[in-house]
């Protein structure tokens, strides 16, 4: 599958996201929001892509 709206500036491997670019590991959004669920984030696992939306089946 060719994804014509892949944002090559935003890599993504979360295939369950509605904004994932098919067979390519890119996001289709023009901008994402990254946040945290921690008061004092110190590791990668403390951050979240707040733009995530579960893809419909």
**pLDDT at position 37:** 95
What is the value of pTM for the model shown? 0.85
Burial state string for 21-31 with b = 16 or more CB within 10 A and e = fewer than 16: beeeebbbbee
> Which pLDDT band holds residue 34 (cuts at 50, 70, 90)?
very high
- Reference 56, options 20, 6, 10; nearest CA is 20
> Which pLDDT band holds residue 21 (cuts at 50, 70, 90)?
very high
> Which pLDDT band holds residue 57 (cuts at 50, 70, 90)?
confident
**pLDDT at position 32:** 98
pLDDT reading at 1 higher than 60:
no
Let me know how many helices (H) and strands (E) the chain has, helices first.
0, 4
């Amino acid at each position: 599958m060719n994804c014509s709206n892949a944002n090559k500036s935003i890599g993504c491997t979360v295939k369950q996201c509605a904004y994932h670019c098919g067979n390519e590991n890119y996001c289709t959004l023009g901008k994402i929001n990254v946040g945290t669920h921690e008061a004092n984030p110190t590791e990668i696992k403390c951050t979240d892509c707040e733009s995530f939306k579960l893809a419909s089946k």
